[in-house]
Amino acid sequence: MSVQQEAGVGGEDLEVWIDQDLCTGDGICAQYAPEVFELDIDGLAYVKGSGDELLQAPGASTPVPLTLLRDVADSAKECPGECIHVRRVSDKAEVYGPDAE
C-alpha cells in the first residue's frame, strides 16, 4: 500500500507546517527530510520555502513534494514533540500528525 493510499489523500496536494511552541529541537524531521525541514540557530525546526529559506512566521507551511511524502509522513509520526502537521491543501484536513484522524 502506498503512503497516499494509507492517508487517503488520493493524489491531492499536501502541505506541512511545524508548531514551534511544541518543537523539542530533536532534529528528527531534518534527518528524515532535510529538503523540507531545518533546525535554526534557536534550536527549533522550521519548514523551508522553495528557495531553501526558513519560513519562520507562525503557522507557515510549505508544499510536500510527492517524492518526499513518505519522509515527511515519517517525520510527523516519529516527532517526539508531536509538532509536525501534514494536511490537505484543499480542505486543511490533517492526514499526518497529532490531529490526524
Which residue segments constitute the domains of the chain, with CATH numbers given?
A: 3-96 (3.30.70.20)
pLDDT of residue 73: 97
Which stretches of the chain score pLDDT less than 50? 1-8
Q: And the C-alpha cell for 32?
A: 528524515
pLDDT of residue 4: 41
Q: How many of the other CB atoms lie within 10 Å of CB of 41?
A: 6
pLDDT of residue 10: 58
pLDDT of residue 12: 83
Specify the 3-state DSSP secondary structure of 7: helix
pLDDT of residue 5: 36
pLDDT of residue 42: 96
- Nearest-angstrom CA–CA distance, 34 and 43: 15
Using CA atoms in the order 53, 21, 68, 11, what is the torsion angle rounded to 10 degrees? -110
For the chain, the farthest-separated pair of C-alpha atoms sits apart, in whole angstroms, at 38
pLDDT of residue 60: 97
pLDDT of residue 95: 97
96 DSSP β-pair partners: 86
